[in-house]
Amino acid sequence: MSDKNGSTSLRGASLPRWSPWAIAAGSLALAVVIGLAGGLDSHVQWGLIAAVLFVLGTYGVTARVEGRRQAKDRVMTSLVWVAFLLAVVPLVSLVWVTVKRGVKVLDVYFLTHSMGVVADTEPGGGIYHAIIGSLEQVGLATLIGAPVGVLTAIYLVEYGRGALARAVTFFVDVMTGIPSIVAGLFILSLMLMTKTQPFGFAGSLALAILMMPVVVRSTEEMLKLVPNELREASLALGVPKWRTILKVVLPTSLGGITTGIVLAVARIAGETAPVLLLVFGNPFINTNPFEGAQSSLPLYIYQQYANSAGSGAAYDRAWAASLTLIAFVMILNLAARGLARWKAPR
């Protein structure tokens, strides 16, 4: 800033601290006026107009008072805020709607009864059979996918050199992109060849295929974060390589590896397509994942919603099951965070 007699000052004019809030409130009010005047009945449109006005208003006001460089800075800040809100508002509204509609029929009865003798159009019934199915299928998939994934990652980071390691990395990348329906079809083709009927474990196999590459990727990143100095320190003590990996490398990265596994579990817990193909769905309680059709939460949600035409009861049950699924994934995430914090190297 230079004043009239040519000397420069380090102090420029600056907006008060509340100015971003004032501009936000102003643009919101203006957006409401424009919305009402223009007869726009969608609140989403009002919000988008407010966002645009906020960014433009910030630039205009700051450029007048503080100068162009500060204006750019503030515009970038407000863009980040707008992007943040655009991402968070739908998420919050999704959780809000699910909770609002889900709690209608979500109670202990709902969690402990199946749909065995309840027609889809009638009220009553529950998701016990679907919870059992989900837990068994996802549990078995984790028992297969997590160890294979972690071991593959250990191979890639600690041992893999040359063509084989490159090939494994390439195929893991390819597997990451497999659509869940394709994984389901793959197992289905095996089932058709062996002429078996749908059963829970078949779904687990497809889910394990989907889980493995996610676990490999996340575990690989975590193992790479372990400083090489620690491996060398252990080797220099005369500790064999396998023990170094088991006792030094894995404990150091345990928190991150567990978080990765839990996130992969959360991902497959919501998969519908392979379960629809391979486990088929079953309104009765079937606790044996190795024989007979089972249900699962995402499949239950899909089937209840598909049969909800003219029936409020099925519609409500679908929302309640969705809420249960979201709660399940959220609890898993929180557990993973807790574990990571507890196990983090101090």
Contacting positions for other proteins (CB under 8 A): 161, 227, 229-240, 243-244, 247-248, 251-252, 254, 345-346
CA 89 to chain centre: 16
**313 contacts 122 by C-beta, under 8 angstroms:** yes
Shortest reach from residue 338's CB to other proteins, in Å: 17
Of 53, 205, 217, 192, nearest in space to 143 by CA: 205
Shortest reach from residue 258's CB to other proteins, in Å: 14
The tokens of 57 are what? 């208003």
Shortest reach from residue 318's CB to other proteins, in Å: 45
Choice between 72 and 241, CB closer to other proteins: 241
Shortest reach from residue 343's CB to other proteins, in Å: 8
Choice between 138 and 157, CB closer to other proteins: 157
**297 contacts 324 by C-beta, under 8 angstroms:** yes
Shortest reach from residue 149's CB to other proteins, in Å: 22
**237 contacts 210 by C-beta, under 8 angstroms:** no
Residue 8's SS3 state is strand
Choice between 179 and 240, CB closer to other proteins: 240
Exposed/middle/buried for 83, CB within 10 Å: 0-12, 13-18, 19+? exposed
Choice between 230 and 327, CB closer to other proteins: 230
What type of residue sits at position 160? Answer: G
Shortest reach from residue 223's CB to other proteins, in Å: 14
The tokens of 244 are what? 């170094």
- For 119, other C-beta atoms within 10 Å of its C-beta total 14
What type of residue sits at position 290? Answer: F
Of 90, 88, 89, 124, nearest in space to 105 by CA: 124
Choice between 242 and 284, CB closer to other proteins: 242
Choice between 234 and 286, CB closer to other proteins: 234
Shortest reach from residue 280's CB to other proteins, in Å: 46
Q: How far apart are the first and last CA of the chain?
A: 48
Shortest reach from residue 183's CB to other proteins, in Å: 35
Distance in angstroms (rounded) separating the CA atoms of residues 78 and 63: 14
Choice between 74 and 231, CB closer to other proteins: 231
**54 contacts 24 by C-beta, under 8 angstroms:** yes
Distance in angstroms (rounded) separating the CA atoms of residues 132 and 286: 8
Choice between 194 and 228, CB closer to other proteins: 228
